[in-house]
Amino acid sequence: MKRFTQIGAAVGAVAFMAAAVTGCGTNSTSGSTNSTSGSSGSEPTLVLATSADYKPYEYHDTSSGQDKIVGFDIDVANAIAKQLHFKVKIEDMDFDGLIAALQAHRADFVIAGMTATPQRKKSVDFSDVYYQAENVVITKKGDNIKSLKDLSGDKVAAQLGSIQEDAAKTIPNVKLDSLDTIPTVVQEVLSNRADAAVIENTVATGYVKSNPQLQINKIAGMTENGSAIAFPKGSPWTKKFDTAIEKMKKDGELQQLAEKWFGGGQ
Ligand code: ARG
């Protein structure tokens, strides 16, 4: 496939996003220190780090006139918080910075549609998988992509630090177009600055709905994309979260949330 692409001046990637957090105006870099101590009577606050560019997992909802971070992951985190009796404080950052935030103990956990890859497991601990999705390729309508090889020599966009970027790297002679956020990745395809983007099907669906000039191409044998919650190595929370996730799987709460946000099931 060949299509004219322009190396645009569009440095669209906004390097940081307004930290729309839950009511707390203050910078909370040390917020995680009080998390496990749980002074008697009051619930501890855990810092949840995410990259709120990933609708419907986590995104900024401004429809009420207020900027709120909402989504499937946020509901899952809040349901776990309810079970385990802690409060949640959200920190929004680029996806590529999430693992480092855990390592520096600037966050107690990351929920960001993140896949537990062997590489990441060297740096952080993961909960059990709470949702399974798959990767697809989005292009402009009319393209006929059946395998990653069909994108050989093309310019392919993906999110920086994601497993989709890893998948794009396997395309022969690819011109990799890595960007900080998913909206900017999709924008690359919409504006013909990239020929295609590798993205998760659950996320791609929303963009294709609102941009009918786009299409989803299913690719056989593309890596599965299970989401798990990440913690600093050795965190006492990992096991507790697993127990809570297990309960939510058994009693149907997880399924209900999946239906609410993805309109389908697991
Ligand atoms: N599941 C993919 C990964 O782990 C992409 C996740 C992107 N998440 C986000 N909030 N932007 O690499």
* pLDDT tens for the 266 residues of the chain, in order: 544 443 333 333 333 333 333 333 333 333 333 344 444 468 999 999 999 999 999 999 999 999 999 999 999 999 999 999 999 999 999 999 999 999 999 999 999 999 999 999 999 999 999 999 999 999 999 998 999 999 999 999 999 999 999 999 999 999 999 999 999 999 999 999 999 999 999 999 999 999 999 999 999 888 778 999 999 999 999 999 999 999 999 999 999 999 999 985 34
Give the distance (Å) from ligand 1 centre to CA of residue 227. Answer: 8
pLDDT value of residue 66: 96
Residue-wise pLDDT for 75-104, tens only, equals 999 999 999 999 999 999 999 999 999 999
pLDDT value of residue 240: 98
pLDDT value of residue 41: 62
Q: Of the residues 135, 163, 166, 198, which should be mutated to test ligand 1's pocket, given the most ligand atoms within 8 Å of the CB?
A: 163
Q: Would the CATH topology of 32-130+228-262 be identical to that of 133-224? A: yes
pLDDT value of residue 257: 98
Q: Please state the CATH superfamily assignment of the domain spanning residues 133-224 in this structure.
A: Periplasmic binding protein-like II (3.40.190.10)
pLDDT value of residue 103: 98
Please name the residue ranges forming H helices in the chain: 72-84, 98-103, 118-121, 163-169, 182-190, 201-210, 237-250, 253-262
Topology (CATH) of 32-130+228-262: D-Maltodextrin-Binding Protein; domain 2 (3.40.190)
Does 74 contact ligand 1 (Cβ within 6 A)?
no
pLDDT value of residue 245: 98
Give the distance (Å) from ligand 1 centre to CA of residue 60. Answer: 16
Q: Which residues contact 135 (CB under 8 A, 6 or more apart)?
A: 163, 164, 167, 198, 199, 200, 201, 219, 222, 223, 225
Q: Of the residues 14, 129, 162, 224, which should be mutated to test ligand 1's pocket, given the most ligand atoms within 8 Å of the CB?
A: 162
Does 163 contact ligand 1 (Cβ within 6 A)?
yes
CB 111, CB 77: distance < 8 Å: yes
User: Could you tell me the residue ranges of all domains in the chain?
Assistant: 32-130+228-262, 133-224
Does 181 contact ligand 1 (Cβ within 6 A)?
no
Structure-token pair, residue 11: 């440095």
Does 54 contact ligand 1 (Cβ within 6 A)?
yes
Does 95 contact ligand 1 (Cβ within 6 A)?
yes
Does 124 contact ligand 1 (Cβ within 6 A)?
no
Q: Of the residues 54, 109, 114, 227, which should be mutated to test ligand 1's pocket, given the most ligand atoms within 8 Å of the CB?
A: 114
